[in-house]
Amino acid sequence: MDEQNRAMRRQVLASLAAGGMAAVTGSWSGLVRAAEAVTLPFENGLRPLTSDFPQKGEMLLLRSRPPLLETPFDVFDEGVFTPNDRFFVRWHLAGIPTTIDARTFGVKVHGAVAHELDLGIADIMNGFDRVELAAVNQCAGNSRGFFKPRVAGGEWGNGAMGNARWTGVRLKDILDRAGVKAGAVEVRFNGLDEGVVAATPDFVKSLTVDHARDGEVMVAFGMNGQPLPLLNGFPLRLVVPGWYSTYWMKMLNDIEVIDTPDRNFWMAKAYQIPDTPHASVSPEDKSFKTVAINRMVPRSFVTNLSDGAVLDIGVHRKVRGIAFGGDAGVREVRFSSDDGATWTTAQLGRDFGKYSFRRWETAFVPRRPGRYTLKVMAINANGVAQPDKPNWNPGGYMRNVVEAVTVVAA
Ligand SMILES: Nc1nc2c(c(=O)[nH]1)N[C@H]1C(S)=C(S)[C@@H](COP(=O)(O)O)O[C@H]1N2
Ligand SMILES: [Mo]
């Protein structure tokens, strides 16, 4: 990041700390104008494009209330950091505040602690060490639309993910100030959003005390050098590097240390995956052990070519894309131009840290006319590779497969 960017970031964050910046936006429940649409490559894949949501540019609309907005895939070709105004949005409950006053907003830390805390934004920004980390935020249901047989749930393409530089403070430091009592087992997080009918279970998520205190989990107020957009959790959100974003609580206003494991709906019933390799089962299988979804796995994508692209015979083509290692760095990205029969190692771009997207690039020269199936596979620092065959589970979680793009040389 250059000096000018740093200076801008300091200014923006300073004005947030001084309470000089409140997210005040209109409501977005009005009519969404859809001038154009995109068709994702699966059944019922037609998605209107909308620019009608506050602080958001053009996004694919899955649902408006509560909002589900997907990042158009070409955004991922533009760089490893996903711009805030194109970053995907996912909420479970329709009662989302449209105005937040940064001067009065506070986070409570309570439960099995020695001292309860009530921290304002300025307390968080000025009272603890600041940390910055690049990390991928990916919905557990990213790419669910590709599941065959189809499953219930938001039919995302591959754009329910994004990578940002998060600025904030360590959750560990906040918990240490409160003093976690011996015998505490988990830390539960809640945000300002709520259901519109009383029967809807409030969206709360928990991490073990050890995870919460690992020094990496962070309470973030900055995203790519700016305050968080309202729909991405202004003014504070949890960042849980390497874990699916269901744990990345937005509009975080409550941290409760608990001394029994959290059995609430969102931990014990929702977001359960089969306890099997790749969280995969066969659709006929009805009895399998489940666990709460947790660490991410490696993925990689071609970003500058899409299905059906026509290439010139004998002409050198750059093929590039993004990869991420999940809960570890990217060790290697492999590329194949013959449907996986032979592989070469792609060149990796700059390393922004093990939780970030990483650029990869390679060259490809189609020698004969015809169709070519290009494939890309990431292997992370723990040696975990993407599977050849897509996984399947009834929740449509953790979609993973070596991705393929079919191009034609003519
Ligand atoms: N308060 C709150 N935080 C939340 C959620 C929510 O519904 N409410 N959804 C979670 C899920 S499932 C996802 S995928 C991410 C989405 O983060 P984003 O909207 O910033 O992309 O937020 C997480 N944090
Ligand atoms: Mo999600």
CA 245 to centroid of ligand 1, rounded, Å: 6
At residue 197, the pLDDT reads 85
CA 90 to centroid of ligand 1, rounded, Å: 5
Closest ligand to 53 CA?
Answer: 1
Closest CA to 348 of 328, 327, 321, 387: 321
CA 92 to centroid of ligand 1, rounded, Å: 7
pLDDT of 383 strictly over 80: yes
Q: Whose CA is nearest to atom 20 of ligand 1?
A: 232
Q: For residue 139, give the ligand 1 atom closest to its CA.
A: 14
pLDDT in tens, 239-260: 999 999 999 999 999 999 999 9
What is the band of 129 on the pLDDT scale with cuts at 50, 70, 90? very high
pLDDT in tens, 386-404: 999 999 999 999 999 999 9
pLDDT of 7 strictly over 90: no
Closest ligand to 201 CA?
Answer: 1
At residue 1, the pLDDT reads 44
Q: For residue 251, give the ligand 1 atom closest to its CA.
A: 1
Q: Whose CA is nearest to atom 9 of ligand 1?
A: 91
Q: For residue 244, give the ligand 1 atom closest to its CA.
A: 14
pLDDT of 151 strictly over 80: yes
Query: What torsion do the CA atoms of 47, 48, 53, 56 make, to the nearest 10 degrees?
Result: 70
CA 81 to centroid of ligand 2, rounded, Å: 19
At residue 22, the pLDDT reads 54
pLDDT of 406 strictly over 70: yes
What is the band of 3 on the pLDDT scale with cuts at 50, 70, 90? low
At residue 199, the pLDDT reads 83
At residue 384, the pLDDT reads 98
Closest ligand to 69 CA?
Answer: 1
At residue 34, the pLDDT reads 58
Which region among 29-38, 270-279, 387-396 has the lowest average model confidence (pLDDT)? 29-38
At residue 160, the pLDDT reads 98
Closest ligand to 164 CA?
Answer: 1
pLDDT above 70 covers a percentage of the chain that reads 91
- Write the CB contacts of 273 (distance below 8 Å, at least 6 apart in sequence): 279, 290, 291, 292, 293, 393, 395, 397, 398
CA 199 to centroid of ligand 2, rounded, Å: 21
CA 89 to centroid of ligand 2, rounded, Å: 9
CA 32 to centroid of ligand 1, rounded, Å: 21
Residue of 243, 247, 250 to test ligand 1 pocket, by largest number of atoms within 8 Å of CB: 250
Residue of 68, 87, 91, 221 to test ligand 1 pocket, by largest number of atoms within 8 Å of CB: 91
Which two structure tokens, joined as six digits, stand for 296?
């991410």
pLDDT in tens, 172-197: 999 999 999 999 999 999 999 999 88
CA 247 to centroid of ligand 2, rounded, Å: 8
- Write the CB contacts of 66 (distance below 8 Å, at least 6 apart in sequence): 91, 92, 93, 94, 96, 193
Which region among 30-44, 88-102, 163-177 has the lowest average model confidence (pLDDT)? 30-44
At residue 127, the pLDDT reads 97
| Structural domains of the chain in order of their starting residue, each with its CATH number | 1-270 (3.90.420.10), 299-409 (2.60.40.650)
Q: For residue 271, give the ligand 1 atom closest to its CA.
A: 12
pLDDT of 27 strictly over 60: no
pLDDT of 204 strictly over 90: yes
Exposed/middle/buried for residue 382 (C-beta within 10 Å: 0-12, 13-18, 19+): middle
Q: Whose CA is nearest to atom 12 of ligand 1?
A: 246
At residue 30, the pLDDT reads 47
Residues with CB under 6 A from ligand 1: 87-92, 137, 139, 191, 193, 203, 232-233, 245-246, 248-251
| Greatest C-alpha distance within the chain | 71
What is the band of 4 on the pLDDT scale with cuts at 50, 70, 90? low
